[in-house]
Each structure stands twice: as structure tokens, then as C-alpha cells.
Amino acid sequence: MVEAVAEELSALAAIFCGPRECEVLSRSETDGTVFRIHTKAQGLVDADIPLELVFHLPVNYPACLPGVSVNSAHLTRGQCVTVKEKLLQQAENLPPEPMVHELVLWVQQNLMHILSQPETGSGHEKSTFPNSTTMGDGLWITLLHLDHMRAKTKYIKTVERWASNLRLTGRLMFMGKIILILLQGDKNDIKEYLVLQKTSKVDVDSSGKKCKEKMISVLFETKVQAEHKRFLAFEVKEYSTLDELQKEFETAGLQRLFSELVLGLVK
């Protein structure tokens, strides 16, 4: 997978070879690769709109989807979110192979069509334009604590699927017996996640029968602040020491949360 990412980045650098068109922002053996592409696409009035697309390729990409963020001084925040949602939908329809160039081409070809639609659709999708009634809450962050996971492999896959379907990013974190889920996204989507978590038979009991999650607690929830990191993807991570877990929280701008709540879980 590392070789596939390297080959893809090399190809992208050859395609987007202008000044600052393609820039690698970070590389990590644990967090994957983050890079930025500057491109343009036709808007509603024929003029080309500059787009800044930031892609996060997790370590298990392309077996899992990339994270995406969209920014443009010529679009509203709501329009950027809508473009991001459409890109992620398109990514879900592609086979598990390098897909960034295909996604860039797709948004170049479809931006005008995306912007012409007043809403992103139905179901889990929400209108993200300024006149939408769902815009008010903005981006939220929630920390959950699980007591245990008996059917760990299946449980993890279920959590990953829920996060992907609800456009939530963050971390599923394991450190010894501590299990934490850090979610970032729309407040209503986080609420829907909690409903799924509490009402679905996601684990098994001591006799091996499927059961609902009865021992989950919400440790913290708040609107994302300026000091908080914006997560680009949902990832599963295991930490061998408390220091490693603490560093994750510090990087996310959540040191106080770690000190006041997470340390209390250590026994």
C-alpha cells in the first residue's frame, strides 16, 4: 500500500506540475499521507473557480476511502461542504484502488452541476447552503467511552461503517483496556451515530449471543473550537503506552480533555 501511494503521488506530481499545484503536507507511518492539490473548475457563470483539495490517505488506503476537504475563496462554506460530500459519495462508488486523480477530474467536470443544486439530497445528506436550517450547529466533537469489546473485529468494522455513512471523522482508540471513540462532524449526525450505537446488536454477551451496547458513556461533547484539530478521516489506532495516547490528544488540541477525563479511566 505504501508503494501504491508513492506511485500515485508521483503520477499526480507529474500531472499537476505547476507552482504549488500539488504539495505533500505530511507523511507518517501511523497517520498516512496528507497532500494538497490546487485546481480549477467551471462555476455557474462560466468563470473558472479555484479549488483547494486536501486529501488524506490513511495507511490502509486504497483499501479504505481517502479523507477530503474542500476550500475556495469563491465558494461559501456550505458550498464547500456540499462539494466534499459529493466527492466522498463518488469515492464510495469507485473500486478500492488509487482514485485521487479520478476524483479531481470528476469535480472538475461536475462542479457547475453540484453548485446548481440547492440541496445535497435526502436521507443522511443535508442541505449545506447558507439558507439551510441545518447550518446552525456547525462542526462538533464528541468523546465516547466503551467498557469492552468481545467481538472486536466485527465491532470495529461496524463502527467504521457507521462513521463513513454519517460522514464522521475521528478516532477509535485502544490503549490497554481503555476504548475510546472520538467523533467529529455535524451534531445531528453524531446524535444519529449514538442512536445506532445504543440500539444495534453490535457486540456479543458472555455466552456469545448478539447484544446491544449497554455500557457506553458520553464523556464530552462540544462545538469544535479554533484550537481543535480537524480530522480528515476516521481511523482505528492502538497505543502501547499512556504517553502515546496523550500525544494523540495533544495533537488534536484536546490536552485538557485528556487530563480531566481520560486519565480518570486509568486504573
Q: What is the pLDDT of residues 20-50, one digit of tens each?
A: 899 999 888 887 899 999 999 988 766 789 9
pLDDT at 175 over 80: yes
pLDDT at 237 over 70: yes
Segment 221-227 mean pLDDT:
84
pLDDT at 246 over 90: yes
Q: What is the pLDDT of residues 213-222, one digit of tens each?
A: 666 788 888 8
pLDDT at 131 over 60: no
Cα-based distances in Å from 47 to 44, 154, 217? 7, 48, 50
Query: What are the grid coordinates assigned to 7, written together?
Result: 506511485
Could you give the percent of the chain with pLDDT greater than 90?
A: 25
**pLDDT band, very low/low/confident/very high, at 182 (cuts 50, 70, 90):** very high
Q: Round to whole Å and give the CA distance between 81 and 169.
A: 14
Burial of 159 (C-beta count, 10 Å sphere; 0-12/13-18/19+)? buried
Q: What is the pLDDT of residues 88-130, one digit of tens each?
A: 989 988 888 899 999 999 999 889 888 887 644 433 333 333 3
Cβ atoms of 172 and 157 closer than 8 Å: no
Cβ atoms of 148 and 194 closer than 8 Å: no
Segment 146-151 mean pLDDT:
79
Cβ atoms of 229 and 257 closer than 8 Å: no
Query: What are the grid coordinates assigned to 110, written together?
Result: 461536475
Q: Mean pLDDT score of the chain, rounded to an integer?
A: 82
Strands (E), the chain: 22-28, 32-42, 48-57, 67-71, 139-146, 169-175, 178-186, 203-204, 210-211, 216-223, 234-238
What domains can be seen in the chain, in order of their start residue? Answer: 2-115 (3.10.110.10), 139-265 (3.30.70.100)
Q: Round to whole Å and give the CA distance between 50 and 70.
A: 11
